[in-house]
Amino acid sequence: MSIKEIQSLIDGYHYWDAFVISLKCDYFADEIELIYDNDDDSVVIYKFDGCYKSLFEHEKTYEKEHPVKKMSFRQLPYSMQDVEVGEILEQEVHFYTCKINMWPLALEIWCKNIKITKQNKNECKD
């Protein structure tokens, strides 16, 4: 899938101001998964596989009043603002790049594959 097609799919799900409900980084940052609440019935899932660069940068001036792991879904402060997909060739290796602003957290991911899906909340195994 081309970056133009991926970006079009991302934009087509109207992510702006959607609340992020899960962000997972597994297998020594080889796989990253982000899930956000799309509407009353569905979620959108971004899966990044074959990751080579993963930067998670929390806004330093944002005061975390409670441990995030103890927050309920409604208390989570993370909402989707901007998602930009690109590609880069570094040392003759092709990577997709994805920058996500979900204030107060910003992500930058370089990976080999990006998969975007929409699922019914009942089907989502989070």
Domain residues of the chain, as ranges? 3-120
CB atoms within 10 A of CB 35: 20
Looking at residue 69, what is its pLDDT?
A: 83
Looking at residue 67, what is its pLDDT?
A: 84
Looking at residue 65, what is its pLDDT?
A: 79
Among the listed residues 38, 62, 59, 55, the one whose alpha carbon sits nearest the alpha carbon of residue 124: 38
> What percentage of the chain has pLDDT greater than the value 90?
76
DSSP 66: S
Buried b / exposed e over 101-119, threshold 16 CB at 10 Å, is ebebbbbebbbeebebeee
Predicted TM-score of the model (pTM):
0.91
The mean per-residue pLDDT over the stretch 63-89 comes to 88
Confidence bin at 125 (pLDDT 50/70/90): low
Question: How many whole angstroms separate alpha carbon 59 and alpha carbon 108?
Answer: 14
pLDDT > 80? residue 126: no
Looking at residue 1, what is its pLDDT?
A: 84
Looking at residue 117, what is its pLDDT?
A: 95
Looking at residue 121, what is its pLDDT?
A: 85
Dihedral sign, Cα of residue 79, residue 85, residue 89, residue 95: positive
Looking at residue 119, what is its pLDDT?
A: 92
